[in-house]
Structures are given as structure tokens and as C-alpha cells.
Structure 1
Amino acid sequence: MSVSVANIKAIVTDIEGTTGSIHFVHQVLFPYAKQHLPEFVRQNHKQAAVAEQVEVVRAEMGQPEADIEAVVEQLLQWIEQDKKITPLKALQGLVWENGYKTEAYKGHVYPDAHDCLQQWHKNGLRLFIYSSGSIYAQKLLFGYSDFGDLNDLFEGNFDTTVGGKKESASYQAIAKQLALPAEQILFLSDVVAELDAAQQVGMQTVQLVREAGMETADHAQVASFDQIQLS
């Protein structure tokens, strides 16, 4: 199963389920954040980077005077619900940094993704990440990956500050920032709704189907990066 894609100048790729295992995120990163985030927020809520996000959490709650325990409770609830909320993602990133630096884990990257990203970068393609995880968390994952620091492969990163991943306006904004026609951008993801949104603005799309039983649609499908042929 291979797919040929033509006239591509830039590739924007998702992370979870695409460049790396969805299980790494859900079975390693999320449990680590759930375990360590409460005490991290309690101990560091007066530090500028954490305080800024705590205020955003309070605003999202509609409770500007909420105490720190209420903030922690809300964060844990969002983790349970797998909410794609920017302040949660930012705080998770700060917690995950400690895990990476203490070698509690390394960022999972599929070998095929690593090899193709290296080759595409060598060939002069512009590479970008777009994930619901914060840009900080993205850079940690690729900075402390199974293959070492891969951040130099990417020209830039996008997260939910550019918009939701299932909203076409987000991809329009990305194309504008890349200063490229949408049809010269290839978007890679495992999620149909994200691919739909990218396709709506004219981007070319390929779905990574790495596990049996995944939802699929009319997008080109591959099981690994090396099945994508660029021409």
C-alpha cells in the first residue's frame, strides 16, 4: 500500500498516532502528568510560567478567584476527559519536561517516521508539526526522542493557539504562515476529521493507519511513512 503525492513544498504532520505511538501518549505521558501535575502546580503556581496558565484555567472555569486546589481539581478533570485545552497542555508540557530530563521515558518516534523525516529534510522539504499538545511539549518529545534530538528537522511548530485541529480555518492560517498555496502542503494525520479540515482548504492529505479498526474515509491511506512517495 503506497501513495504518490506530487508538487509538495512543505509537510505538516500530526504526532500522536502519526509520527509516534498513540499508546506512548496515553499510557506514558498522560499517567505521568496525572500523577505529578497536582503537586507541581501546588509548588510552582507563583512562578511566572505556571501562574500565567493558572489564570487561564480560572478564566476557563469562570471562577477568577478559584483557589489552587480548585484549579488542580479542574485540571485533573480535563485530563480524565482528554480535553484539548491550551492551559492544560501548557502545564502538562512543564511537568513532562521533568520526566524527559530524568529519563523516566523518551519520546516515541516510529523508525519509519524518523527515516523519512530525515530524508525529506535532506531533500529540502520544509517540515512542520501541528499537534494539540503545546509547542513546548512537542519540542520536548522530539528533543528527547528515541533517536536523540530531532528538533532541527522542523522549520516550525503549531498547536491549538492557531486553532482547533478539526477546524478548516486553522489550516488556512497555517498555509498563510507558510506563505504557500495550500495545494503545495501535505498534511499527515491518523484522524479523519483533521484530514477533512485540511482538505477543505486545499491541502493534500494522507492518513496514517497504523492499527486495525481505525476510522477511515476517502483520504489516501498508508501504514507507514515510507509508503508515501513524493514526486
Structure 2
Amino acid sequence: MTAALTFDGLDSVVLDIEGTTSATGFVVDVLYPYSRERFGALLAERGAEPAVRRAADQVREAAGEPAADAARIERILGGWLDEDRKATPLKTLQGIIWSEGFARGDLVSHFYPDTIPALRRWHAAGLRLHVYSSGSVAAQRAWFGHTPEGDLLPLVEGFYDTENAGPKQSPESYAAITAAIGAEPARTLFLSDRPGELDAARAAGWRTVGVRRPGEPYFEQGVGDHPEAACLDELTLTRRTP
């Protein structure tokens, strides 16, 4: 078991989702198949909607196939899912599908048992909570809005993805979030299971914790030289005093 960690003088906590607050297996085993089954209908029936059309054009550009029709785009998306590629248009279309699935009650998000109590505890202590995930903002909002314990959106101040912030292993993305949330980098703590993301956040001046949960894809890789926690219960976070 890792030792307890204390971080004083914080303003903001930014959380990854998969592998940090929630099980990657749930996303892969439940959400990915749900979206795979619905890409075709979304592209064929709602291709004229601005968000769908824009994402489809981004798929064509990324694949180098400007004439790709809806059926071909569906196959490309399926291939990206098989590769677990963090492509923005894939995440956009998944976000549309998942948001509607959560709203219908088809889906309920997953959180590790220690996560929701920790989020409530930190929020009550005056810390500003944000989310930065490769999943689209729409998917993130649906995830936090439809949990086993109800709507957690009031706990979270802001949501960031690869479109409104940038790639998760780029320090510039974390600098962009710093500018958006208006918190000093040294008073911002980032929680993630991926060492490349932690390195990028630290390069932008953030404080970091690697969350290393057994069974997650990055568990064996470790978190490099970042402070390590096995669960959020091991973190004691306090807000800066005026």
C-alpha cells in the first residue's frame, strides 16, 4: 500500500477519468460496443446535423479519404475503436451517442468506490474541480450527470477535452487549461494514471499524482517519478488560505 499524500495550498484539482476515477474496462466493454452499434445510424440518418457533419469531415481528412461515404466512415471509426485511438472526431461522435444513451437511461456511468466521496469532500473544502479527458466534453458531462449516485455535475466547474484544450501529452494543453480556469499552475493538482500526461502537466507547472489502480492498463508501467496513490482516499488536499 502506498503512503498517504498531503497537498496544501491548492485552488484546483483536475481529474482524468479512465483509470483514475473510473474503470477503463467499463468504457471498453460497455461504452465502446454501445457506440459501435450506433455509428451507422447516426451517420446515415443525421449526417446533416452540424456536429455530425463536422466530425465526418474530420474523419475523411484524418483518413485521407475525402470521398468516403457514411458506410466507409463507419468502418474507419470501427478500426479506430479497435486501436483505441484517441481521435477527436471519434470522441465527438461517441459523445453524441453516449449522451443520448445516458439521457434515455440505457447507460449509467461507473466510478470507483473511493471516487465520489473524495469529490464531495474536496468540493466541500472549497477546491475547484475540473475534468480533462480524451472523451468529448459532451461525453464527460453525460458521465458525471448520470452516475449511480445521481447528478454530480454541480461538483465540477469545468470540462476539457482534446478539442478545447489539446492533446493530453502536450504541456501546451495544460497551459491552456490554466488560462481557462484562472488558477496558478503551482496551485493546480492533476490526477491521472498515464505517465505521459503527468509529465506534460508537470512541465506546465502543475503538481501531479499518479493514480495506480490494479487491473488498469497502465498499472504495470507505473507513474514514473510522480507521487503515487492507489486510490483517492490516500490524498489529503487543502485549499489555500487567502
Q: TM-score normalised to the size of structure 2?
A: 0.91
Choose the corresponding residue for 1:120, options 119, 122, 134.
Answer: 122
Choose the corresponding residue for 1:27, options 8, 24, 29.
Answer: 29
Q: In the alignment, which residue of structure 2 is the partner of 1:224?
A: 231
Whether the aligned pair in 1 keeps the contact of 2:17 and 2:131 (CA below 8 Å) is yes
Q: What amino acid maps onto 2:113 in structure 1?
A: P
Q: In the alignment, which residue of structure 2 is the partner of 1:208?
A: 211
Whether the aligned pair in 1 keeps the contact of 2:122 and 2:237 (CA below 8 Å) is no
Deviations 1:108-160 (A, max 9, x none): 11231101111111111111000000000000111111111111111101000
Choose the corresponding residue for 2:51, options 42, 49, 52.
Answer: 49
Q: Is 27-36 or 55-64 further displaced after alignment?
A: 55-64
Choose the corresponding residue for 1:154, options 123, 142, 156.
Answer: 156
Q: In the alignment, which residue of structure 1 is the partner of 2:71?
A: 69
Q: What amino acid maps onto 1:127 in structure 2?
A: L
What is the CA-CA distance between 1:189 and the residue it aligns to? 0.4
What is the CA-CA distance between 1:98 and the residue it aligns to? 3.3
What is the CA-CA distance between 1:172 and the residue it aligns to? 1.3
Whether the aligned pair in 1 keeps the contact of 2:40 and 2:70 (CA below 8 Å) is no
Deviations 1:5-59 (A, max 9, x none): 1211100000001111111111111111112222222222122331221122122
- Root mean square deviation, CA, Å: 1.4
Q: In the alignment, which residue of structure 2 is the partner of 1:40?
A: 42
The SS at the match of 1:108 is: coil
What is the CA-CA distance between 1:71 and the residue it aligns to? 1.3
Q: Does 1:85 align with 2:91?
A: no
Choose the corresponding residue for 2:99, options 87, 97, 100.
Answer: 97
Cα distance in 2 for partners of 1:199, 1:41 equals 39
Percent of residue pairs identical:
38
Deviations 1:84-129 (A, max 9, x none): 1111101011111233233333111123110111111111111100
The SS at the match of 1:211 is: coil
Consecutive aligned runs of 4 or more in structure 1 exceeding 6 Å deviation: none
Q: What amino acid maps onto 1:209 in structure 2?
A: R
Q: Does 1:195 align with 2:202?
A: no
Q: Is 191-200 or 59-68 further displaced after alignment?
A: 59-68
Cα distance in 1 for partners of 2:107, 2:68 equals 34
Larger helix share, 1 or 2? 1
The SS at the match of 1:17 is: coil
Cα distance in 2 for partners of 1:178, 1:35 equals 36
Q: Is 104-113 or 155-164 further displaced after alignment?
A: 104-113
Whether the aligned pair in 1 keeps the contact of 2:170 and 2:200 (CA below 8 Å) is yes
Whether the aligned pair in 1 keeps the contact of 2:168 and 2:197 (CA below 8 Å) is yes
Q: What amino acid maps onto 2:62 in structure 1?
A: E
What is the CA-CA distance between 1:230 and the residue it aligns to? 1.7
Number of equivalences = 231
Choose the corresponding residue for 2:183, options 166, 180, 183.
Answer: 180
Could you tell me which runs of 5 or more consecutive residues in structure 2 were left unpaired when the two chains were aligned.
Answer: none
What is the CA-CA distance between 1:224 and the residue it aligns to? 1.2
Cα distance in 2 for partners of 1:179, 1:49 equals 29
